[in-house]
Amino acid sequence: MLFNSYFFIFLFLPTVLLGFHLIGNQGYHRAAIVWLVGASLFFYGWWNSAYLILIIFSILFNFSVGISLSNTFGHKLSKKAILTFGVSTNLVLLGYYKYANFFIDNLNVLSDSNLILTKVILPLAISFFTFQQIAYLVDAYRGQAREYSFLYYCLFVTFFPQLIAGPIVHHKEMLPQFAKAVLYKLRSKDLAIGVTIFALGLFKKVVLADGVSIYSSPVFDAAEAGVILTFFEAWIGALAYTFQLYFDFSGYSDMAIGIARMFGIRLPLNFNSPYKASSIIDFWRRWHITLSRFLRDYLYIPLGGSRKGKVRRYINLMVTMVLGGLWHGAGWTFIIWGMLHGFYLVINHTWRAVFTNRHNTALYTFFSWALTFVSVVISWVLFRSDSINSASSMLSSMFVLHGISLPKSFEGVFNNVALIHFKDWFKYDGIFSNGLLTDTSYIVFLWIIILLFLSVFLPNTQEFMHNHRPDVRDCKIIATKSRKKYLEWKENIIWSIIIAFLLVISILHISKDSEFLYFQF
């Protein structure tokens, strides 16, 4: 079931929301939780009911391990053994479903063998609910989390707004909110804020992300098919995917945060304008914040972080980013993508260590932003490509190794008398050519400019809603206040009309099932 579907918007969500508040408002809080857990399992099983067996097993297993960790008062080694067993079992389960085929395929290539494994279908959201429960086990081991109610633990894992693609939440961030009696009463303010954030996320997904996807997918598909792309086509495809991915995933996160807020629940931030970042370090503080937080707290810091010297720090960064890349998918393109970002971070940290007296002039800031943005765009080519060969072909075209040309439709620009000689020169040297995006060149450029403006110059959703606390405030990343007061949401008729207009436009754009890109991870 997709957030961006008529069934979800007009039937599932209103039914679950009203049922939860009607039951809870009568004082039957536990029954309301049962209703919400049941609805969440129905939501998850909508794609494939067989998935329910796996997630229920995962819940039962991790709840049992968590209880054992909370009740173990003996030697520290016994708790550590329980934790190791719990985390290892989760990773083995994740590894089998996500990486078994990848491992067998590579083993066959290296050993010239012919091992066959029945195709393993990746269960929906396994990466997200596995990481969330690993975090819970580690927190339970550290004495930072404890849950004796199986019902509430089920809610922690299955809460449908964030079940499929995050944000990855901590036990202490969500469960205490359900203990508040006021939560079970439908409040107009929470509903208004939730609908507003949901509407913004839906607009990002169905209008912006899906709108620009028609310019990215053909380019990457052509590269995979062996087509040699032009310089223009490669960069347009890469830029289109750069914005498609951001507005798709941040749109999902906004919708998740908005839906949760309708229930009175605040989820943590997942995005904070990553394309405004002026360094790769800054980028990873803004992109997929809850995953970055998980990798930092449960991998980078336990490996030693920055406490054991610069060389060890850089090794820890590389290991963390490579494993972060592998988390996204079983493929060498994801591994290389992680290595590339690890390399970026090592360079960034080295630069900061050497040039401690940097002058943050406007020119320096712009150059830093441009270099960061281009570096991220290049990395997304690896992230999106289906194979190393197609990624290599795309990058070769982007770096002019396949020559340079402009689309045929741009030839009309040179019909101006003043440019007649340049027009002849371009024609003679074959600068103009027919290609994938020939008939839509101007539209493509317009899309790129608009999406760049929206993601770099306008306030993000959290800044837009700053005065109404859209996120969990004990999350270490807190949205800054928008400098543009007129772009801050207020509870008035004008903003109600604007949000209603965006919502109607978005709903009219729901023409087909369009999955969120992060569903595949």
Question: Which residues are marked as active site?
Answer: 328
Quote the CA–CA distance of 156 and 413 in Å, as a whole number: 58
SS3 per residue for 248-294: HHHHHHHHHHHHHHHCCCCCCCCCCCHHHCCCHHHHHHHCCHHHHHH
Q: Which tokens go with 265?
A: 């629940």
Identify the sign of the CA torsion 488, 459, 259, 247.
Answer: positive
Give the separation between CA 402 and CA 227, rounded to whole angstroms: 11
C-alpha angle 8/9/10, rounded to 5°?
A: 100
Residue pair 245/380 in contact (Cβ under 8 Å)? The answer is yes
Q: CB neighbours of 111 closer than 8 A, spacing ≥ 6?
A: none
- 465 token code pair: 């809603």
At 386 the three-state DSSP class reads coil
Q: What are the φ and ψ backbone dihedral angles of 432, each rounded to 5 degrees?
A: -90, 140
CB 506 within 8 A of CB 497: no
Q: Do 264 and 190 form a contact (C-beta atoms < 8 A)?
A: yes
Residue type, 453: F
For residue 432, the SS3 value is strand
Contact 461, 208 (CB under 8 A): no
